[in-house]
């Protein structure tokens, strides 16, 4: 028995050495495979970073196509594209050296960025020479999808409640936050997209995770809204219950309330309101070749059966604008009448809210409308109609909206 145990012990020690050697030899290809996989993942990460940088450069260059005449032409566009790509790629990966070139496509409708990276191997299992990685990105301007509704802030979003609808045939609805549509509501447009999420009925299917669209009118001169009204002597607000009041352009410092059968007629020109404008009852607000600019926290409120028919400026610095606000105006502009049938022009209230709270149609008689607002909310059962008949209206569309050149990646 003792001899048997001794023999088995010797055999075990001998076999254990062989097993360890066998295991070590068998592990070599496994370890090589693991390191090769690690190398491949590392190189794929460089490719992904390179592609993202090329995408960013192409999109940036395509955005500049619309203003090439004032920014130095094609060379400035390609320089911008390459600069953005390089900055995006910078310091993304310590074992690669990247280079970018950019070109403008036929008919100046696209920008292509090509990127190259010389990848330095991590382990040498895939070779010791630097590997060349190439990517291409092309961004094409969206000339066939005009931008007509832009929600500007990263909060607030576009909210359609109950059975409300936004109908924007022929143009794009974009939110820099979320789009929320109740189960009985609808947004129908050529394109609906949001930086955040999209919920509820949207036709066609909305695109979430979109790129942010910055305020297209951030450089618009609204310096007159900084003026203050100085009234001499006792004054009373304007209260019109009947008849017609012709209001010349300029600064309007008193609250205006029109009710009953009163008619407020705005004469052509720029109207700066430093007090609220309230239209109610069966009143009427009308004006052709006008813009209404609200300073401070002043707003309009159209309610009950008030009729509103307005057409924006045809010329001058405010050409194409119908309603605008100072940038510190965070008020609530309310349309609570189903007889607000014509709002031809651009509603630019970047820091304020637009609330449509009525059971009727709004802006349906306008050749075209554009809305740029911090948030847009539809309550009750309104149908907000955003037409896009830009040609022939006599009112120019401000640069940055309407038939826009917002780029999309196509390659």
Beta bridge partners of 147: 172, 402
- Helix crossing, 2-63 with 74-89: angle to 10°? 160
Beta bridge partner(s), residue 272? 251, 293
Indicate the pTM of the whole model: 0.69
Question: So where are the chain's domains?
Answer: 2-141, 147-409
Provide the pLDDT for residue 68: 37
Q: Which residues contact 366 (CB under 8 A, 6 or more apart)?
A: 342, 343, 344, 345, 385, 387
Encode pLDDT of 238-270 as tens digits. Answer: 999 999 999 999 999 999 999 999 999 999 999
Percent of the chain with pLDDT over 70: 80
Q: What's the first-to-final CA gap in the chain, in angstroms?
A: 79
Kind of pairing, strands 369-380 and 158-160?
parallel
Band of pLDDT at residue 8, cut at 50, 70 and 90? very low
Choose between 5 and 137: higher pLDDT: 137
Query: Does the structural domain 2-141 have CATH classification 2.20.25.110?
Result: yes
Q: State the burial class of residue 73 (Cβ atoms within 10 Å of its Cβ: 0-12, 13-18, 19+).
A: exposed
**What was the pLDDT predicted at 89?**
84
Classify 193 as helix, strand or coil.
strand
- pLDDT > 50? residue 377: yes
Closest C-alpha to 357, from 281, 285, 302: 302
Pairing relationship of beta strands 186-194 and 165-175 according to DSSP bridges? parallel
Answer whether residue 384 shows pLDDT above 50: yes
Q: Name the helix (H) or strand (E) containing 85.
A: helix 74-89
Euclidean distance between CA atoms 220 and 1, whole angstroms: 103
56-92 tens-digit pLDDT = 988 878 766 643 333 346 787 888 889 889 988 876 5
The position carrying tokens 């917002």 is: 406
């Amino acid at each position: 028995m003792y001899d048997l145990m001794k023999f088995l012990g010797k055999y075990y020690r001998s076999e254990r050495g062989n097993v360890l050697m066998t295991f070590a030899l068998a592990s070599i290809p496994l370890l090589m495979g693991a390191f090769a996989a690690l190398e491949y993942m590392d190189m794929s990460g460089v490719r992904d970073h390179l592609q993202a940088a090329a995408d960013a450069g192409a999109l940036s260059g395509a955005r500049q196509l619309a203003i090439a005449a004032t920014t130095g032409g094609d060379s400035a566009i390609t320089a911008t594209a390459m600069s953005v790509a390089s900055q995006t790629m910078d310091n993304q990966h310590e074992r690669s050296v990247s280079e970018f070139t950019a070109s403008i496509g036929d008919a100046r409708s696209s920008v292509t960025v090509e990127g190259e990276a010389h990848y330095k191997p991590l382990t040498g299992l895939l070779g010791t020479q630097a590997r060349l990685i190439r990517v291409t990105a092309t961004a094409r301007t969206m000339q066939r999808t005009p931008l007509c509704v832009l929600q500007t802030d990263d909060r607030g979003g576009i909210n359609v409640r109950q059975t409300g609808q936004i109908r924007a045939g022929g143009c794009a609805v974009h939110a820099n936050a979320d789009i929320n549509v109740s189960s009985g509501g609808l947004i129908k447009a050529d394109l609906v997209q949001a930086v955040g999420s999209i919920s509820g009925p949207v036709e066609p299917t909305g695109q979430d995770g979109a790129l942010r669209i910055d305020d297209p009118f951030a450089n618009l001169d609204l310096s007159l809204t900084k003026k203050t009204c100085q009234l001499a002597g006792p004054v009373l607000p304007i209260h019109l219950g009947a008849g017609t009041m012709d209001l010349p352009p300029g600064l309007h410092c008193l609250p205006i309330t029109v009710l009953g059968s009163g008619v407020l007629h705005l004469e052509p020109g720029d109207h700066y309101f430093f007090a609220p404008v309230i239209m109610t009852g069966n009143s009427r607000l009308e004006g052709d070749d006008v813009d209404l600019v609200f300073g401070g926290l002043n707003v309009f409120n159209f309610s009950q059966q008030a009729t509103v028919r307005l057409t924006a400026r045809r010329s001058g610095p405010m050409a194409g604008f119908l309603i605008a606000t100072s940038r510190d105006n965070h008020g609530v502009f309310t349309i609570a009448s189903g007889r607000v049938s014509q709002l031809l022009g651009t509603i630019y209230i970047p820091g304020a809210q637009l609330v449509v709270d009525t059971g009727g149609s709004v802006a349906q008689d306008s050749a075209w409308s554009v809305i740029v607002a911090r948030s847009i909310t539809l309550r009750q059962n309104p149908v907000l109609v955003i037409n896009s008949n830009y040609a022939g209206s006599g009112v120019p569309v401000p640069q940055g909206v309407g038939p826009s050149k917002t780029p999309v990646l196509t390659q």
